[in-house]
Homo-oligomer: A and B are copies of this chain.
Amino acid sequence: MEDLQRLTEEMRDCLGIDHLVYHWMGAQGAQYGCGTYSPLWLARYAAQGYLRVDPVIQSCFQRVHPVDWKALDWSSKAARAFLKDALAHGVGNQGFTVPIRGPNGQFAIFTVSHSCDDALWADFLAQWRAELILAAHGINAKALELMPEPATQTPVALSPRELDAMRLLATGLSRAQIAAELNISEHTVRVYIEGARFKLGALNTTHAVARALSCGLIAI
């Protein structure tokens, strides 16, 4: 994985910016990151639980397209505190982040950050935006190649009926309602749910639905 670290540094130098970061998040909290942020900031980021505060993460989790940090909502108190802390640790005041999704709920972001005024940043993005998107996917491809196997391969496959059950559960139906919907007995529905629960390694129905959702097996 040192290759990737070097790659991010080279890419940063080539672009002439302060920072370039790639961060991958898999299922069950598995993570991998590389980039040019200071180790001190990374440690602080983890220690403070900024993953749940960072507007970049929050926003990218709900969007498809890259985002300029200026377009984010920094109004909340937590976000302001985070921003101040980030600036103090060398993160640029400008940023551009590309969200990338994979199967089974994999999620990654590719970020470039720099300290400069808005006009300069706008010029930079106008020139490099397309390249950055391609670079994001390129780095993600490389990262997935190098990723240890268990992280990337999650061959959980539910049967069609189990998927039906999970889908209907996720929309709020009870077992009896699902049975009526699928025109089968409630007990059969139970077998599907139990099967899905077992395959997903879930402790209960809610857990199973949550996993099925976050793995991208179902959607609501």
Interface residues of A (CB under 8 A from B): 26-29, 58, 61-65, 100-107, 130, 133-134, 137, 140-141, 144, 153, 169-174, 202-207, 209-211, 213-216, 218-220
Measured CB to CB, the nearest residue on chain B to A51 is B219
User: Are A214 and B207 interface neighbours, CB within 8 A?
Assistant: no
Among B106, B174, B220, contact of A211 (Cβ-Cβ < 8 Å): B220
Among B102, B130, B133, B171, contact of A207 (Cβ-Cβ < 8 Å): B171
User: Are A100 and B174 interface neighbours, CB within 8 A?
Assistant: no
Question: Can you list 19 residue pairs at the A/B interface with Cβ under 8 Å?
Answer: A26-B219, A27-B220, A58-B216, A62-B103, A63-B102, A64-B106, A64-B141, A101-B103, A105-B213, A105-B216, A105-B218, A133-B133, A170-B206, A170-B210, A172-B202, A172-B203, A172-B206, A210-B210, A214-B220
User: Are B207 and A170 interface neighbours, CB within 8 A?
Assistant: yes
B-side contacts of A26, CB under 8 Å: 219
User: Are B100 and A64 interface neighbours, CB within 8 A?
Assistant: yes
User: Are A210 and B207 interface neighbours, CB within 8 A?
Assistant: no
CA distance A211 to B209 in the complex (A): 11
In the complex, the count of this chain's copies comes to 2
CA distance A217 to B200 in the complex (A): 22
Among B61, B102, B104, contact of A220 (Cβ-Cβ < 8 Å): B104
Shortest Cβ gap from A75 to chain B (Å): 13
User: Are A213 and B210 interface neighbours, CB within 8 A?
Assistant: yes
Shortest Cβ gap from A31 to chain B (Å): 12
Shortest Cβ gap from A141 to chain B (Å): 5
User: Are B144 and A64 interface neighbours, CB within 8 A?
Assistant: yes
Among B65, B105, B169, contact of A137 (Cβ-Cβ < 8 Å): B65
Shortest Cβ gap from A160 to chain B (Å): 9
User: Are A64 and B102 interface neighbours, CB within 8 A?
Assistant: yes
B-side contacts of A29, CB under 8 Å: 220
Which of A62, A65, A106 has the most chain B CB within a 10 Å cutoff?
Answer: A62
Shortest Cβ gap from A168 to chain B (Å): 10
The 5 nearest A-B residue pairs measured at CB:
A105-B219, A172-B207, A172-B203, A101-B101, A170-B210
